Amino acid sequence: MATEALTTTFCGIRMASPIVLLSGCVGFGEEYTRVHGYSNSDVGAVVLKGTTGDARLGNPPHRVFETADGMLNAIGLQNPGVDKVVDEILPGLDFSETRFFANVSGSTIEEYERVTRRFDDSDIDAIEINISCPNVKEGGVQFGNDPAMSARVVAACRAQTSKPIITKLSPNQTDIEENARLCIEAGTDGFAVINTLMGMAIDPATRRPVIGNVRGGLSGPAIKPIALLKVHQVYGVARAHNVPIIGQGGITTASDAIEFMIAGAAAVGVGTALFYDPLVCKKINAGIESYLKQHKLKSVDDLVGTLEL
C-alpha cells in the first residue's frame, strides 16, 4: 500500500502513487492481480489495453522479440471491441483499489469518436488517446506524427466526453513540442510521453524480419534517454497551461522514476519492467519515498519540474 507522501493528483484524479501501469502491459487490469504479492493498490492507475470500435485479431506472429536492452512488440491492438470491454470487463474491475484509464485507438477519426463516446458512458476514470501506435498499418503513426492531425483527433474526442483526456505522444515525429501545443489547444487535459519507438529485428539465418509485422514498437531501458528528453521538451510547453505529463519509457527503478519527475513528469509509467519483475512497483514506491525523506520533501509533487539548468 502506497503512503501519503506518494499521493498525487493527476488531471483532477487523486492517485495513491505516481506509478501508472502502461497500456498493453497488464491486459484489462486483472492480469497481474494473479501474481502472489502484487496488488493494484500499489499503483496510482492502470491503463487498460488499447480498445477499438470492433474486435481485432491483431498482427501475425512473431509479435514480441527481446532486444539487447528492451523489447520489440507488434501486437496490433488485439482486443474484443469497446462494447465487450464496457459491458463485460469494466464491471469486474475493483475501482476501490486504483484508478482505471481507458486507451482509445482507431483507424479513423470516426472510430476514435465512437470509442470515446462509449467510454464516456462508463465508470472509467480517464481516457488515454492512442494516436501514436507504431505497430499497426493504419491510423496510429499517421495520426501521431502529424501535429495537425493529432489535434483533430483530440478535438474530436474532446467533443465526445467530459472525462479527462490524456494524449499519448509519439517520439517518431519531427516536432513533439508543436504537437503538444496544438493538442493543448484542441482540449487535451494531460499527456503520456512517450509511446514506443519504431524498430525492427532481422534473423540472419533466414534474412527475414523477426516480427511478423516487420516493424514494432521498441520499449524498455534502451529508450529511456530519448523519453527523458521528450518529457523535458513537452513540459516546457505544458507547464504554462497546467497540463500534467505521465513520463514513460524504460523506467525500471526508483531512480529512473525520479529522473522523469525532475524532468517534468507528474506521474510515471511502468511497462516493460513488469514482464521480468511483476513486483517492481513496490520497489519503486519504496525508493521514491526514501528519496523524499532523504531530501526532506513532503510529496512527489515537490519533485516535478525541478531540473536545474
pLDDT in tens, 15-25: 999 999 999 99
We report the CATH number of the domain holding residue 121 as 3.20.20.70
pLDDT tier at 207, thresholds 50, 70, 90: very high
Within a domain: 267: yes
232, 212 in Cβ contact below 8 A?
no
Q: How far apart are CA 223 and CA 196, in angstroms?
A: 8
**In a domain? residue 142:** yes
- How many Cβ atoms are within 10 Å of 299's Cβ, its own excluded? 14
For the stretch 134-153, pLDDT in tens is 445 555 556 778 899 999 99
Identify whether 131 is part of a domain.
yes
Q: Report the alpha-carbon angle 22-24-27, nearest 5.
A: 105
Q: So what's the pLDDT on residue 135? A: 46
Partner residues linked to 21 by β-bridges: 46, 270
Kindly state whether residue 185 falls inside one of the protein's structural domains.
yes
User: Would 63 be classed as within a structural domain?
Assistant: no
- Mean pLDDT of all residues in 52-61: 95
Number of domains in the chain: 1
User: Is residue 48 in some structural domain?
Assistant: yes
Q: Which of 43-52, 131-140, 186-195 has the lowest mean pLDDT?
A: 131-140
What pLDDT shows up at residue 3?
83
Q: Is-catalytic flag, 157?
A: no
According to the model, what pLDDT value does residue 142 have?
64
Q: Is residue 254 predicted with pLDDT exceeding 90?
A: yes
**Backbone φ, ψ for residue 6 (5° rounding):** -90, -10
- Long-range Cβ contact pairs of 202-209 (< 8 A, separation 24 or more): none
**Percent of the chain whose pLDDT exceeds 90:** 88
Owning domain of residue 161: 4-53+74-199+218-302
Q: CA 134, CA 214: separation in Å to the nearest integer?
A: 11
- The verdict on residue 275 lying in a domain is yes
pLDDT at 74: 95
What pLDDT digit, counting tens, does each position of 71-84 carry? 999 999 999 999 99
The three three-digit cell numbers of residue 90, written as one number: 469494466
The least confident of 135-144, 149-158, 189-198 is 135-144
pLDDT of residue 77: 92
CB under 8 A, 24+ apart: contacts of 303-309: 303/258, 303/261, 303/262, 304/261, 304/262, 304/264, 304/265, 304/266, 305/235, 305/239, 305/262, 305/263, 305/264, 306/261, 306/262, 307/232, 307/262, 307/263, 307/264
- Point out the catalytic residue in the list 133, 157, 183, 281: 133
- Rounded to two decimals, the pTM is 0.96
Is residue 88 domain-resident? yes
Tens of pLDDT, residue by residue over 274-291, are: 999 999 999 999 999 999
